[in-house]
Structure 1
């Protein structure tokens, strides 16, 4: 893996260097080739004054250097260079660029222009005479020059363009497949959520319904007032559990807006009353000037109190408990603290309630603390106003 990463990094650095220096390097090579052709080093020596080949060499180099943004200067100097000096360097680059960037009618127009320039080169060769006539005016040489200086660069440009188009199509296909995979994963998750909802309905709702029915029967048949009151509480709690379960199932099934809106901070007293009815010794105290809080923050505060009181009922039902809402200038602090418990039976728990609650609090930019204190337990949540805005 390390060697592959090093190879990729080297390739990227080489590619960056090529992209940075390709244009000036190409301009230098083309200008030097045109000058060498005019002086007879790689072509027919020109009888024209030296300033003419120099100007054409500089113009050809400049046109090759700016070909990425403007093509017509290169095509122009390629035609002039061939007719005046029989210099082919600019023409080779022009043919490659035509194959790489032109399509349809533009490419056909370029080939027609090449034919006109080659025909003009034949006429110039015949007029100038040997050795220019032998090089550019004999049929065999004209065909060879057309194949080597026009055909091969043109085919190379067409191949590079086809390869780029193929790679672009493959990348687009890969992106499309990735999007399809993500969509498939979303469908699978939705199906799994629906399956979970059905299982919860089949198992939990059935058991809770039986509990409500039996509690109702006990409420009717029992003679002891305390038993009747406990049965009524069990029946009411069971019905509330069924209501909450339906809301959860609505969320899991993603059936648009989920049921009735979740209760907020105004329902904390109702939670405390329910806990007192269930036998807990709970009292509430507020600190600071009560102010209106955002709905999101209020719902989170309600969940903190609900989860904390649920844990007290499970693990310390005989302990004194205090629910404190502390209104701060920049937020709300929720504290639920219970004292030491004498022990006794406890209800089972999954241990996931506080973890989920911590995630909810942290989504608002707050902090949740849950720790044992003086033989009891403390749950403290700091909810900032800015996180709920």
Structure 2
């Protein structure tokens, strides 16, 4: 916080006390002749009226200040409370209430003239002659009232502009959400039209090969390709469901539990990987979003092993914590160097974004023995 902001806050905190002191001191100075007409009343009574005017200046309700203004003017011919009351009336009052205040101020001014005539002397000369009474009414009531009206109108204008800016900002955000939803829906349609079609053809041809092939190895490979393609279609439908749901379709996401990790490990073993799964902690209910994120972490880790170290031993460990799940995929060095498949290197980038959006942490890097370690901590929150 800057020094200026600190000073402004301190001033705002002490403003009510300063205002009360100013009104009380001005009322006292006016009644004792320093700023206005000297009152012949006892100083104790003047002090009581001055203190009451100061207290009314910071009262939560409006009528104590109006009463103090009327008493101060009629008893002491003191104007500070009346000036403040007129200013606040201009800021806060409108319509009939403002007209009622003006009528009441006019009645008090006429009563003040009558009191001045009755008291005589300096007070009659200052407050009860026609020209002086009119001038005092303008200075004490009209000018502060006009200033309050101007400030109130300015506040109303600023509030209207602020509301309009907020409304425009909300409309822009809604428009951006609609555009993003439309783009997601377009991507979902294109993925369905292109990718799903190609993968479906692959599954169909693999199934035909499985039926017509004579060699057991070919049949086994075709069955593996068909099951992998069907799993890819399931994953693709899940992605399309996410896109459609974010686009406002309301299509529910397919359930994905931690049991799907077993299916990933079974597929990887069928593809020739040596995978060992270990669980630590006490498993409990896991929200669907958390399970999907853990599933993706394990899937990405096993995919990278198949690409870059297909002959390495792999350990998949799920550690159940009170506030989350830690998923670890670790592999040793590859027994067949040079067998790695090409990759774009974007899988870990997208996975890191997904885990961080879930409020978790992800780390990935080589180990001292030449292997690779992928570790993700996913907090236990519903990420549907």
User: What is the TM-score when the length of structure 1 is the normalising length?
Assistant: 0.81
SS at match of 1:131: helix
Q: 2:17 matched to which residue of 1?
A: 24
Structure 1 residue 371 corresponds to structure 2 residue 366: yes
Structure 1 residue 262 corresponds to structure 2 residue 256: yes
* Cα distance in 1 for residues equivalent to 2:314 and 2:6: 65
SS at match of 2:97: helix
Paired residues for 1:182-261 under 5 Å: 182-220=173-211, 222-254=213-245, 255-261=249-255
- Residues 19 and 243 of structure 1: is their aligned pair in 2 closer, same or farther, counting only changes over 3 Å? closer
Contact 1:305–1:336 (Cα < 8 Å) also in 2: no
Residue 156 (structure 1) shift: 1.0
* Mean Cα deviation higher: 359-368 or 84-93: 359-368
2:159 to 160, 168, 185: 168
Contact 1:99–1:154 (Cα < 8 Å) also in 2: yes
- Residues 381 and 294 of structure 1: is their aligned pair in 2 closer, same or farther, counting only changes over 3 Å? farther
Q: Which runs of 5 or more residues in structure 1 are unaligned?
A: none
Paired residues for 1:123-138 under 5 Å: 123-138=114-129
Residue 252 (structure 1) shift: 1.0
Structure 1 residue 63 corresponds to structure 2 residue 56: yes
Contact 1:368–1:380 (Cα < 8 Å) also in 2: yes
* Cα distance in 2 for residues equivalent to 1:127 and 1:325: 99
Paired residues for 1:1-389 under 5 Å: 10=4, 12-64=5-57, 66-67=58-59, 69-220=60-211, 222-254=213-245, 255-264=249-258, 266-278=259-271, 280-284=272-276, 286=278, 291-296=282-287, 300-317=293-310, 319-325=311-317, 334-358=328-352, 363=358, 368-375=363-370, 377-381=371-375, 387=380
Contact 1:312–1:338 (Cα < 8 Å) also in 2: no
* Cα distance in 1 for residues equivalent to 2:149 and 2:234: 69
- Residues 122 and 244 of structure 1: is their aligned pair in 2 closer, same or farther, counting only changes over 3 Å? same
User: What is the TM-score when the length of structure 2 is the normalising length?
Assistant: 0.81
Residue 365 (structure 1) shift: 5.1
* Cα distance in 2 for residues equivalent to 1:186 and 1:261: 26
Deviations 1:144-189 (A, max 9, x none): 2211211111111111122222222222222233322222222222
SS at match of 1:379: strand
Deviations 1:331-355 (A, max 9, x none): 6664442442323554332323334
Residue 205 (structure 1) shift: 1.9
Residue 33 (structure 1) shift: 3.2
* Cα distance in 1 for residues equivalent to 2:273 and 2:47: 102
- Residues 291 and 13 of structure 1: is their aligned pair in 2 closer, same or farther, counting only changes over 3 Å? closer
Residue 63 (structure 1) shift: 2.8
SS at match of 1:284: strand
Structure 1 vs Structure 2 CA RMSD: 3.4
Contact 1:324–1:334 (Cα < 8 Å) also in 2: yes
* Cα distance in 2 for residues equivalent to 1:315 and 1:322: 12
- Residues 16 and 207 of structure 1: is their aligned pair in 2 closer, same or farther, counting only changes over 3 Å? same
- Residues 210 and 89 of structure 1: is their aligned pair in 2 closer, same or farther, counting only changes over 3 Å? same
* Cα distance in 1 for residues equivalent to 2:112 and 2:79: 11
Deviations 1:188-232 (A, max 9, x none): 222221122122223322322333344344445545443343233
Deviations 1:40-89 (A, max 9, x none): 3443333334444343333333333x24x243333223222222332222
Contact 1:247–1:259 (Cα < 8 Å) also in 2: yes
* Cα distance in 2 for residues equivalent to 1:326 and 1:52: 83
Q: Which runs of 5 or more residues in structure 2 are unaligned?
A: none
SS at match of 1:260: coil
Contact 1:247–1:258 (Cα < 8 Å) also in 2: no
SS at match of 1:295: coil
